[in-house]
């Protein structure tokens, strides 16, 4: 009997969450998949690693998921790792105002009708029920409205809407697209507390989102190759026919396809003429190795501090500062000192600052402005066998885990349909 010709393979370039989601969807549809990753490990902007200075594993940055992030949960379910996420198990968001010292906890009720607004103790201090009607304005956000222009001003804005927008969009609300915020809230807060239960990895990002995906792919014949920075795509007759790697040229045979799941700026280099977002915002993460149990694990939002969100784990306290381009030139020790004052206030610490790592992710996400949103291309390209994936493609969401995973699945579906 003649040997059956091998099933044509799909080449996935980039092993961030978009690439891994695309690879998993393709493998599930019966395709052979090879993933080419430039770095020594997968995960891209959502990964864990061993930090020698701190002597422990840390995440490149705190990542928060909400229960309304359906694609992200479906992704975890595919690999059986939903339970690797922890959190309060209900929609609770504790806050501390650093200027006044007030603490409160936002507790949206589970259903779509916001009964919680009728319970004074559930409201943000200093706000009235009618202030929350401002959220309805998001429904008519135009292509030009910024978050600040639509929602700005007042206590509710300062104590809830502004921190929410900065966390979701990683862009200052004065420039951020109200439409992108509306898209996030429509799937979470505006659907009720059941859709905004916060969760984050108990161990690390890689343990939840990356390592199980790689193991799942490999168990089904998928291959993941590290240290393979792809340079140069060859395009002939309207399709990709080859691409370069440090090991040499990889031919893309007839019937084979490519998912380009690299960051926006790499995609723009590889595909001359492709329009992609070209302005980015940084996120800073400051990890303190406290080496002891701070008693109250969890997370808390800070208003009016240097830190914005604090994640307290048994040995590590990690702090996030979003929309942080303004801090990129600030020396790390200065940032760490300022953030430690916030941490000490939250945890009632009087001890000196412990060992710390300041991570500056310079191009953490594209800037979620209208102008940048308009530069996002769809998954489908004019090339018959090439689809794009990445949080910067036109997902309708800001750059998030949810957006990255959806983009990978859309890219896979595009190729499968073709």
Ligand X SMILES: Cc1cc2nc3c(=O)[nH]c(=O)nc-3n(C[C@H](O)[C@H](O)[C@H](O)COP(=O)(O)OP(=O)(O)OC[C@H]3O[C@@H](n4cnc5c(N)ncnc54)[C@H](O)[C@@H]3O)c2cc1C
Q: Does residue 57 interact with ligand X by CB under 6 A?
A: no
Measure the CA–CA gap between 414 and 410, rounded to whole angstroms: 6
Single out the segment in contact with ligand X by CB under 6 A; choices: 17-25, 50-58, 149-157, 409-417.
17-25
Q: What's the min distance (Å) between Cβ of 196 and ligand X?
A: 13
Q: Does residue 14 interact with ligand X by CB under 6 A?
A: yes
What is the edge-to-edge ordering of all strands in the sheet holding 223-225? Answer: 223-225, 32-36, 9-13, 257-260, 386-388
Indicate the residue among 60 and 175 with the shorter CB distance to ligand X: 60
Structure tokens at 61: 């940055």
The strand pair at 298-303 and 280-289 is best described as: unpaired
Q: Does residue 39 interact with ligand X by CB under 6 A?
A: yes
Measure the CA–CA gap between 104 and 121, rounded to whole angstroms: 9
Indicate the residue among 146 and 365 with the shorter CB distance to ligand X: 365
Measure the CA–CA gap between 275 and 267, rounded to whole angstroms: 9
Write the interaction track for ligand X spanning residues 224-243; mark x where CB under 6 A is met and - where it is not.
-----xx-------------
For ligand X, the binding residues in 240-279 under the rule CB under 6 A are 261-263, 266
Measure the CA–CA gap between 226 and 129, rounded to whole angstroms: 53
204 three-class SS: coil
Q: Does residue 365 interact with ligand X by CB under 6 A?
A: yes
At 348, give phi and psi (nearest 5°).
Answer: 55, 40
Measure the CA–CA gap between 336 and 267, rounded to whole angstroms: 34
Write the interaction track for ligand X spanning residues 370-399; mark x where CB under 6 A is met and - where it is not.
--------------------xx-------x
Q: Does residue 61 interact with ligand X by CB under 6 A?
A: yes
Q: How does 108-145 read in b/e, with b if 16+ C-beta sit within 10 Å?
A: bbbeeebebbeeeebbbeebeeebbebbeebeebeeeb
Identified binder of ligand X from the candidate list 214, 364, 412, 415, rule CB under 6 A: 364
# binding residues, ligand X (CB under 6 A): 36
Measure the CA–CA gap between 337 and 299, rounded to whole angstroms: 20
Q: What's the min distance (Å) between Cβ of 228 and ligand X?
A: 6
Single out the segment in contact with ligand X by CB under 6 A; choices: 12-20, 141-149, 214-222, 332-340.
12-20
* Chain positions contacting ligand X, by CB under 6 A: 13-19, 36-39, 44-46, 60-61, 63-64, 229-230, 261-263, 266, 283, 285, 361, 364-365, 390-391, 399-402, 404
């Amino acid at each position: 009997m003649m040997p059956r010709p091998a099933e044509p393979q799909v080449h996935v370039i980039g092993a961030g969450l978009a690439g891994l989601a695309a690879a998993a969807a393709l493998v599930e549809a019966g395709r052979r998949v090879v993933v080419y990753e430039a770095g020594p490990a997968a995960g891209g902007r959502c990964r864990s690693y061993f930090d020698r200075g701190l002597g422990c594993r840390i995440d490149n940055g705190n990542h928060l998921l909400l229960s309304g992030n359906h694609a992200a949960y479906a992704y975890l379910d595919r690999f059986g790792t939903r339970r690797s996420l922890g959190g309060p198990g209900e929609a609770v968001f504790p806050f501390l105002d650093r200027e006044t010292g007030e603490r409160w906890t936002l507790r949206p009720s589970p259903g779509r009708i916001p009964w919680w607004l009728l319970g004074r103790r559930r409201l943000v201090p200093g706000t009235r029920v009618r202030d929350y009607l401002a959220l309805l304005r998001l429904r008519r956000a135009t292509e030009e409205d910024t978050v600040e222009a639509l929602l700005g001003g007042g206590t509710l804005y300062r104590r809830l809407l502004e921190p929410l927008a900065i966390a979701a969009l990683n862009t200052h609300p004065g420039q951020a697209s109200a439409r992108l915020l509306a898209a996030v809230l429509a799937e979470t807060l505006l659907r009720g507390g059941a859709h905004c239960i916060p969760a984050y990895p108990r161990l690390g990002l890689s343990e939840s989102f990356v390592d199980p995906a790689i193991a799942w792919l490999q168990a089904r014949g998928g291959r993941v190759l590290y240290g393979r920075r792809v340079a140069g795509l060859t395009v002939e007759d309207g399709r990709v026919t080859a691409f370069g790697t440090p090991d040499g040229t990889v031919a893309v045979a007839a019937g084979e396809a490519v998912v380009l799941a690299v960051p926006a700026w790499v995609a723009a280099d590889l595909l001359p003429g492709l329009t992609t977002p070209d302005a980015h915002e940084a996120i800073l993460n400051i990890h303190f190795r406290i080496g002891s149990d701070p008693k109250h694990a969890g997370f808390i939002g800070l208003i009016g501090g240097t830190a914005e969100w604090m994640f307290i784990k048994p040995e590590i306290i990690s702090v996030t500062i979003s929309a942080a381009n303004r801090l990129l030139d600030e020396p790390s020790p200065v940032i760490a000192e300022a953030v430690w004052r916030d941490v000490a206030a939250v945890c009632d610490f009087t001890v000196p600052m412990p060992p710390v790592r300041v991570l500056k992710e310079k191009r953490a996400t594209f800037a979620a402005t209208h102008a940048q949103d308009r530069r996002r291309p769809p998954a489908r390209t004019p090339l018959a066998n090439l689809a794009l994936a990445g949080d910067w493609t036109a997902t309708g969401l800001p750059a998030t885990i949810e957006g990255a995973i959806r983009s990978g699945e859309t890219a896979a579906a595009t190729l499968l349909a073709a």
